[in-house]
Structure 1
Amino acid sequence: MTKVLEVDPSYDQARRQIVRLKPLADEKRQKMKEEMIVDHWEIGNCNSGQFGMSADNFKAVKDPNTGSYSIPFQC
């Protein structure tokens, strides 16, 4: 729809669809991020156990400005 608006900025139906779909897409993207983190955590626990560590030694911290995560090690 954004490409349609680039070609014809006056096309109101495309604009309405963007307003309707953007929150749904944002919600889906956030859910996928959270699922990915959980999946990586489980894989991390399987692999790090061999070294006497756990994925629980790491804490995901979300940056409110960018939405990205940093994952520092915690003892």
Structure 2
Amino acid sequence: MSVCSLLALANRAICFSKLGLWILNPSYLKALLRRAEAHEKLEHYDEAISDMKKIAELDPSNEQASRALRRLEPLAAEKREKMKEEMIGKLKELGNSVLGRFGMSVDNFNAVKDPNTGSYSIQFQR
């Protein structure tokens, strides 16, 4: 495809966007596939999975969607776990910055899960 053709497509896309015409036809498999591929490259795994599931729903025999789902699920789980660990780390830093003024840290507290209710209680430890 020539540079002029690419520019024309890019300009058309921005015009559609400015007009608010960015809605994807939910049954157009090729567009769903391209969007899923873009989401995967951007590491938006949950969005890519959503598109691939829609493709598999519309075309259950689509092997590309099946393979992609098997590949994407562990990537999404790994990314969620990494984000959770980062969040916990930041919360600990925040907690320690506040508690440090009182000579304590988050390590002075222990979260205990109640097996009956699934809720947690926080206990102070010396």
TM-score calculated relative to the size of structure 1 = 0.72
Secondary structure of the 1:27 match is helix
The CA distance in 1 between the partners of 2:62 and 2:121, in whole Å, is 44
TM-score calculated relative to the size of structure 2 = 0.46
Q: Is the 8 A contact 1:58 1:71 kept in 2?
A: no
Q: Is the 8 A contact 2:112 2:123 kept in 1?
A: no
Q: Percent identity?
A: 56
- Please state if 1:8 is matched with 2:73: no
CA RMSD of aligned residues (A): 2.3
Structure 1 unaligned segments of length 5 or more: list them. Answer: 63-69
The CA distance in 2 between the partners of 1:59 and 1:17, in whole Å, is 41
Q: How many residues align?
A: 68
Partner AA of 2:123 in structure 1: F
The CA distance in 1 between the partners of 2:102 and 2:123, in whole Å, is 14
Structure 2 unaligned segments of length 5 or more: list them. Answer: 1-51, 114-119
Note the alpha carbon deviations across 1:6-40, whole angstroms, 9 max, x for none.
22211111010010111111111111101110110
Q: Is the 8 A contact 2:99 2:106 kept in 1?
A: yes
Structure with bigger RCO (C-alpha 8 Å, 6+ apart): 1
1:35/1:48 CA distance change after superposition, 3 Å: same
Computing the radius of gyration over CA atoms, which structure comes out larger, 1 or 2? 2
- Please state if 1:30 is matched with 2:81: yes
